[in-house]
Structure 1
Amino acid sequence: MANVPWAEIREKFQAALALSRVELHKNPEKEPYKSKYGARALLEEVKALLGPAPEEEDERPQADDASLQSEDPSLRLPAEVVEVEGPVAQRSVRLAVIEYHLGVNHIDTEELSAGEEHLVKCLRLLRKYRLSHECVSLYIQAQNNLGILWSEREEIETAQSYLESSEALYNQYMKEIGSPPLDPTEHFLPEEEKLTVQERSKRFEKVYTHILYYLAQVYQHMEMFEKAAHYCHSTLKLQLEHNAYHPIEWAVNAATLSQFYINKLCFMEARHCLSAANVIFGQAGKIPTTEDTTESEGDVPELYHQRKGEIARCWIKYCLTLMQNAQLSMQDNIGELDLDKQCELRALRKKELDEEESVRKKAVQFGTGELCDAISAVEEKVRYLRPLDFEEARELFLLGQQYVFEAKEFFQIDGYVTDHIEIVQDHSALFKVLAFFETDMERRCKMHKRRIAMLEPLIVDLNPQYYLLVNRQIQFEIAHTYYDMMDLKVAIADKLRDPDSHIVKKINNLNKSALKYYQLFLDSLRDPNKVFPEQIGEDVLRPAMVAKFRVARLYGKIITTDPKKELENLATSLEHYKFIVDYCEKHPEAAQEIEVELELSKEMVSLLPTKMERFRTKLGQT
Structure 2
Amino acid sequence: MAGALGPEIREKFQAALALSRVELHKNPEKEPYKSKYGARALLEEVRALLGPAPEDDDDERAAEDGPGDQAQGAAEPRDTEGPGAQRVLRLAVVEFHLGVNHIDTEELSAGEEHLVRCLCLLRPYRLSLDCVSVYIQAQNNLGILWSEREEIETARTYLESSEALYNQYMKEIGSPPLDPTEHFLPEEEKLTEQERSKRFEKVYTHNLYYLAQVYQHMEMFEKAAHYCHSTLKRQLEHNAYHPMEWAINAATLSQFYINKLCFMEARHCLSAANVIFGQTGKIPATEDTPEAEGDVPELYHQRKGEIARCWIKYCLTLMQNAQLSMQDNIGELDLDKQLELRALRKKELDEEESIRKRAVQFGTGELCDAISAVEEKVRYLRPLDFEEARELFLLGQHYVFEAKEFFQIDGYVTDHIEVVQDHSALFKVLAFFETDMERRCKMHKRRIAMLEPLIVDLNPQYYLLVNRQIQFEIAHAYYDMMDLKVAIADKLRDPDSHIVKKINSLNKSALKYYQLFLDSLRDPNKVFPEHIGEDVLRPAMLAKFRVARLYGKIITADPKKELENLATSLEHYKFIVDYCETHPEAAQEIEVELELSKEMVSLLPTKMERFRAKMALT
Mapped partners of 1:539, 1:160: distance in 2: 34
Q: Tell me: CA distance 1:596–1:3, structure 2 relative to 1, closer, same or farther (3 Å).
A: closer
Q: TM-score, normalised by structure 1?
A: 0.97
Task: Call closer, same or farther: CA 1:291–1:64 in 2, change over 3 Å.
Answer: farther
Task: Give the Å deviation of 1:287.
Answer: 1.3
CA positional deviation for 1:213: 0.3
Deviations 1:114-137 (A, max 9, x none): 110000010000001000011000
Alignment CA distance shift 1:324-1:494 (3 Å): same
Per the alignment, residue 36 of structure 2 pairs with 36
- 2:241 matched to 1:245? yes
Q: Is the contact between residue 285 and residue 292 of structure 2 (CA under 8 Å) also seen in structure 1?
A: no
* 1:82, distance to aligned residue in structure 2 (A): 2.4
On the 8 A contact 2:74/2:127 being kept in 1, the answer is no
Q: CA deviation at 1:78?
A: 4.2
Structure 2 distance, partners of 1:167, 1:328, is 42
Partners of 1:150 and 1:294 in 2: CA distance:
28
The answer to whether the 8 A contact 1:475-1:520 is kept is yes
* CA distance 1:434–1:176, shift in 2 (3 Å): same
3-state SS of the aligned residue for 1:42? helix
Cα distance 1:347–1:23, how it changes in 2: closer, same or farther (>3 A)?
same
Contact 2:285 2:291 in 1 (8 A): no
C-alpha spacing 1:400/1:363, structure 2 compared with 1 (3 Å) = closer
Assess, with a 3 A threshold, how the Cα gap between structure 1 residues 242 and 395 changes in structure 2: closer, same or farther.
same
Task: Report the Cα offset of residue 79 of structure 1.
Answer: 4.5
Residues 482 and 58 of structure 1: CA distance in aligned 2, closer, same or farther (over 3 Å): same
CA offset at residue 59 of structure 1? Answer: 4.5
Which of 290, 294, 300 is equivalent to 1:298?
294
Query: Residue by residue, what CA displacement relative to the aligned partner does 1:335-360 show, whole Å, maximum 9, x if unpaired?
Result: 01111111111110111123464454
Q: Is 2:27 aligned against 1:27?
A: yes
Cα shift at 1:64: 6.7
Unmatched 5+ residue regions in structure 1?
A: 66-73
Mean Cα deviation higher: 120-129 or 354-363: 354-363
Instruction: For residue 368 of structure 1, report the CA deviation from its aligned partner.
Output: 0.7
Q: Is the 8 A contact 1:482 1:511 kept in 2?
A: yes
Q: 1:68 maps to what in 2?
A: none
Once the two structures are TM-superposed, the CA of residue 77 in structure 1 deviates from its matched residue by: 2.3
* 1:291 shift after superposition: 2.1
Shift in Å at residue 521 of structure 1?
Answer: 0.4
- Which ranges in structure 2 are unaligned for 5 or more consecutive residues? none
Partner of 1:180: helix, strand, or coil?
A: coil
Contact 1:79 1:169 in 2 (8 A): no
Distance 2:381 2:404 in 1: 27
Sort the Cα spacing of 1:460 and 1:258 in 2 relative to 1 into closer, same or farther, 3 A. Answer: same
Counterpart Cα distance in 2 of 1:5 and 1:574: 93
In 2, distance between residues paired with 1:300 and 1:367? 26
8 Å CA contact retained: 2:96, 2:138: yes
Q: CA deviation at 1:494?
A: 0.4
Cα deviation, 1:364-391, whole Å, max 9, x if unaligned, reads 1101111111000000000000001100
CA contact (8 A) 1:57 1:124 kept: no
Shift of 1:601: 0.5
Q: Determine the C-alpha separation between the residues in 2 that align with 1:5 and 1:607.
A: 98
Distance 1:53 1:607, change over 3 A: same
Q: Is the 8 A contact 1:64 1:124 kept in 2?
A: no
Query: CA, structure 1 residues 3+127, in 2 after alignment: closer, same or farther (shift >3 Å)?
Result: closer
Structure 1 residues 207 and 122: alpha-carbon distance in aligned structure 2, compared to 1, 3 A threshold:
same
Contact kept? 2:545, 2:573, Cα under 8 Å: yes
Question: Is the 8 Å Cα contact of residues 254 and 273 (structure 1) preserved in structure 2?
Answer: yes
CA contact (8 A) 2:275 2:370 kept: yes
Could you tell me whether the CA contact under 8 Å between 2:208 and 2:228 is conserved in 1? Answer: yes
Distance 1:62 1:192, change over 3 A: closer
1:173 aligns with 2:169: yes
Q: Does structure 2 conserve the Cα–Cα contact (< 8 Å) formed by 1:330 and 1:342?
A: yes
Question: Which range is displaced more, 282-291 or 415-424?
Answer: 282-291
Change (3 A) 1:196 1:296: closer
State the alpha-carbon separation in 1 of the partners of residues 358 and 531 from structure 2. Answer: 54
Moved more, 299-308 or 518-527: 299-308
For residues 252 and 232 of structure 1, the distance between their equivalents in structure 2, rounded to whole angstroms, comes to 12
Equivalent residues of 1:64, 1:127 under 8 A apart? no
2:235 and 2:64 map into 1 onto residues whose CA distance is 30
TM-aligned CA deviation for residue 196 of structure 1? 0.7
In 2, Cα distance between equivalents of 1:117 and 1:533: 56
SS state of the match for residue 195, structure 1? Answer: coil
- How far the C-alpha of 1:76 sits from its partner, in A, is 3.9
Q: 1:229 is paired with a residue of what secondary structure?
A: helix
Determine whether 1:321 maps to 2:317: yes
Q: Deviations over 1:121-175 (max 9, x none)?
A: 1000000100001100010000000000000011110000000000000000111
Shift of 1:14: 0.7
Q: Tell me: CA distance 1:582–1:189, structure 2 relative to 1, closer, same or farther (3 Å).
A: same
* Shift, 1:63, TM fit: 3.3
Preserved contact between residue 274 and residue 315 of structure 1 (Cα < 8 Å): yes
Shift of the 315–194 alpha-carbon distance from structure 1 to 2, 3 Å rule, reads: same
1:3 deviation in Å?
11
What residue number does 2:221 align with? 225
Distance of aligned partners of 1:2 and 1:349 in 2 relative to their CA distance in 1, 3 Å threshold: closer
- Cα distance, 1:64–1:451 mapped onto 2, change above 3 Å: farther
Counterpart of 2:401 in structure 1 is 405
Q: 1:6 to 1:469 in 2, by over 3 A?
A: same
- Measured after TM superposition, the shift of residue 362 of structure 1 is 5.6
In structure 1, distance between residues paired with 2:235 and 2:71: 30
Alignment CA distance shift 1:554-1:355 (3 Å): closer
8 Å CA contact 1:327, 1:436 repeated in 2: yes
Q: In structure 1, how many angstroms separate the alpha carbons of the residues matched to 2:12 and 2:44?
A: 10
Judging changes above 3 Å, is the alpha-carbon distance between structure 1 residues 494 and 363 closer, same or farther for their aligned structure 2 residues?
closer
CA contact (8 A) 2:489 2:495 kept: yes
CA distance in 2, matches of 1:352, 1:2: 63
> 1:428 and 1:80 mapped to 2: Cα distance?
64
* Secondary structure at the counterpart of residue 76 of structure 1: coil
Contact 1:4 1:50 in 2 (8 A): no
CA pair 507-210 structure 1, distance change in 2 beyond 3 A: same
Q: Is the 2:281–2:295 Cα contact (8 Å) retained in structure 1?
A: no
Residue 70 of structure 1 corresponds to: none
Q: Which residue of 1 aligns with 2:437?
A: 441
- Distance in 1, Cα, partners of 2:132 & 2:72: 16
Kindly state the Cα deviation for residue 85 of structure 1 after the two structures are TM-superposed: 2.7
Higher mean C-alpha deviation, range 45-54 or range 361-370 = 361-370
Q: Assess if the C-alpha contact under 8 Å between 1:255 and 1:314 holds in 2.
A: yes
- Shift in Å, 1:8: 1.1
Cα deviation, residue 480, structure 1: 0.4
Deviates more, 1:97-106 or 1:294-303: 294-303
In 2: Cα distance, 1:500 partner to 1:40 partner:
87
What do the CA deviations read for 1:382-435 (whole angstroms, capped 9, x no partner)?
Answer: 000000110000000000000000000000001100000000000000000000
CA–CA separation in structure 2 for the residues paired with 1:59 and 1:185: 23
Per-residue deviation, 1:461: 1.4
Deviation of 1:299 after TM superposition, in Å, equals 2.6
Cα distance change, pair 75–472 in 1 and its aligned pair in 2 (3 A): same
Secondary structure of the residue aligned to 2:133 is: helix
8 Å Cα contact 1:431-1:451 kept in structure 2: yes
- In 2, distance between residues paired with 1:361 and 1:377? 17
TM-aligned CA deviation for residue 295 of structure 1: 5.7
CA offsets 1:32-75 (integer angstroms, 9 cap, x no match)? 1111111111111111111110112675165376xxxxxxxx75
Alpha-carbon distance between aligned partners in 2 of 1:83 and 1:359, rounded to the nearest angstrom: 50
- Do the aligned residues in 2 keep the contact of 1:4 with 1:49 (CA within 8 Å)? no
Label 1:345 to 1:53 Cα distance change in 2 as closer, same or farther (>3 A): same
How much has 1:5 moved relative to structure 2?
5.7
Determine the C-alpha separation between the residues in 2 that align with 1:289 and 1:588.
63
Counterpart contact for 1:16–1:38, Cα < 8 Å: yes
Residues 144, 163 of structure 1: 8 Å contact kept: yes
Question: Could you say if the C-alpha distance between residues 566 and 544 of structure 1 is closer, same or farther in structure 2, counting changes exceeding 3 Å?
Answer: same
Deviation at 1:294, TM superposition (A): 5.9
> Is contact 1:268-1:361 (8 Å) kept?
no
* 1:460 counterpart SS class: helix
- CA RMSD of the aligned region, Å? 1.6
Q: Which moved more, 1:586-595 or 1:53-62?
A: 53-62
Equivalent of 1:416, from 405, 412, 415? 412
2:396 match: secondary structure: helix
* Matched residue SS, 2:61: coil
Q: 1:24 to 1:498 in 2, by over 3 A?
A: same
